[in-house]
Amino acid sequence: MTSTIVKTEFNFPKQTKLYKGKVRDVYTINNDKLIMIATDRISAFDHVLPKGIPYKGQVLNQIASIFLKATTDIVPNWLEATPDPSVSVGKRCEPFKVEMVIRGYLSGHAARQYKKGYREICSENMPNGMIENDKFSSPIITPATKADEGHDEDISKEKIIKKGIVSEDDYNLIENYTHELFNRGSELAEKKGLILVDTKYEFGKTSDGKIMLIDEIHTPDSSRYFYKDNYKDLQKKGLPQKQLSKEFVRQWLIEKNFQGLEDQVLPNMDDNIIKTISNRYIELYENITGENFDNGNLDNIHNRIEENLNKNYFN
């Protein structure tokens, strides 16, 4: 397979901190700027899979950049520049310890809970009689605690405020932002013949107390998309929707008897599944942006990143 970014060990000028998440390596510069490198690592069920996916980081970074720029009229965000196809640079914010998950349809985690008999998630009711991938009468917000390690957990608005994770005023503001961003994302997806099914947003505060949208938005890692043209027909026939999201990776893992549970072993990833995943990420990029994907140079990605940062950011 082609070269991938699965590990970075850069030492940038005025670097003060390095944080390695599941799929992103984040370098803090001078305590007020972030260099976020979207690696080709892929995670599911809170586990990083053993091999990288070619072009995945570039896809995530470029989609996020497009949508961050397309939503600045709704909420300010952290992004300032994209000096490399896999790199974003912007303001450092103190993140809220919750992910604002918003769902327009009964899919993914919500559908799995529904099949177990639950009719409530994060204090939001899910009506009886729904089938997987049915549309909710209106989108529901199902926040999750953001864990540094291990599993994120569902949590209600009431508990978030009661525990002081986010103040009531701040929560009400990011709740409004979440609905507005989802509406904008849905409108943009519809123009491309897609349905934005669900997604998540993350917010933080700058040193002067300003709330900003951070991290990625509307990417296949943070969102789920269906094709609009055959959605109703597939639902009527009780057939699965073709998804432009990471859900098909989760389904592949489930078929291989892995859901991140104790004593379960991550399955082997052969070249075929790696190529399939890579192609699906590129497919989503081209569908949601309406542009042809420009494959970045993979000959020596780490050198490319360092050269582009020195030329386009540090210079």
What does the pLDDT look like over 150-209, one tens digit per residue?
567 999 999 999 999 999 999 999 999 999 999 999 999 999 999 999 999 999 999 899
Assess if residue 2 is contained within a domain: no
Query: Is there a single domain that holds both residue 86 and residue 193?
Result: no
Assess if residue 7 is contained within a domain: no
Assess if residue 229 is contained within a domain: yes
Query: Is there a single domain that holds both residue 122 and residue 42?
Result: no
Assess if residue 27 is contained within a domain: yes
Q: How far apart are CA 230 and CA 236, in angstroms?
A: 10
Assess if residue 195 is contained within a domain: yes
- Please report where in the chains the tokens 């072009």 appear, as a residue: 55
Q: So what's the pLDDT on residue 267?
A: 92
Q: What angle do CA 224, 100, 281 make, to 5 degrees?
A: 25
- 244 contact partners, CB below 8 Å, separation of at least 6: 194, 220, 224, 225, 226, 227, 280, 283, 284, 287, 288
Assess if residue 250 is contained within a domain: no
Helix, strand or coil, per DSSP, at residue 154:
strand
Chosen domain end from 245, 275, 296? 245
Cβ–Cβ under 8 Å, residues 82 and 65:
yes
Residue 274 sits in a domain whose CATH number is 3.30.200.20
Query: Is there a single domain that holds both residue 179 and residue 230?
Result: yes
Record the tokens describing residue 22, joined without a space. 């599941």
Query: Is there a single domain that holds both residue 118 and residue 139?
Result: yes
CB atoms within 10 A of CB 80: 13
pLDDT over 90 for what percent of the chain? 81
Residue 68 has pLDDT above 50, yes or no: yes
Structural domain count of the chain = 2
pLDDT one-digit tens code per residue, 22-66? 899 999 999 999 999 999 999 988 899 989 999 999 999 999 999
Residue 280 has pLDDT above 90, yes or no: no
Q: How far apart are CA 119 and CA 134, in angstroms?
A: 14
Q: How far apart are CA 68 and CA 5, in angstroms?
A: 23
Assess if residue 5 is contained within a domain: no
Cβ–Cβ under 8 Å, residues 212 and 202:
no
Q: How far apart are CA 40 and CA 60, in angstroms?
A: 9
Chosen domain end from 194, 220, 245? 245
Residue 284 has pLDDT above 90, yes or no: no
DSSP string over 187-198: HHHHHTTEEEEE
Residue 222 sits in a domain whose CATH number is 3.30.470.20
Query: Is there a single domain that holds both residue 297 and residue 233?
Result: no
Query: Is there a single domain that holds both residue 110 and residue 234?
Result: yes
Chosen domain end from 184, 219, 245? 245
For residues 292-298, give the mean pLDDT: 83
Query: Is there a single domain that holds both residue 233 and residue 264?
Result: no
Note the pTM of the prediction, 2 decimals: 0.89
The chain-wide mean pLDDT, for the chain, equals 93
Query: Is there a single domain that holds both residue 161 and residue 108?
Result: yes
Query: Is there a single domain that holds both residue 241 and residue 259?
Result: no
pLDDT one-digit tens code per residue, 1-13? 458 899 999 999 9
Q: What is the 3-state secondary structure (H, E, C) of 96-121?
A: CCEEEEEEEECCHHHHHHHHCCCCEE
Query: Is there a single domain that holds both residue 85 and residue 21?
Result: yes
Give residue 133's domain range. Answer: 95-245
Query: Is there a single domain that holds both residue 107 and residue 220?
Result: yes
Query: Is there a single domain that holds both residue 139 and residue 215?
Result: yes
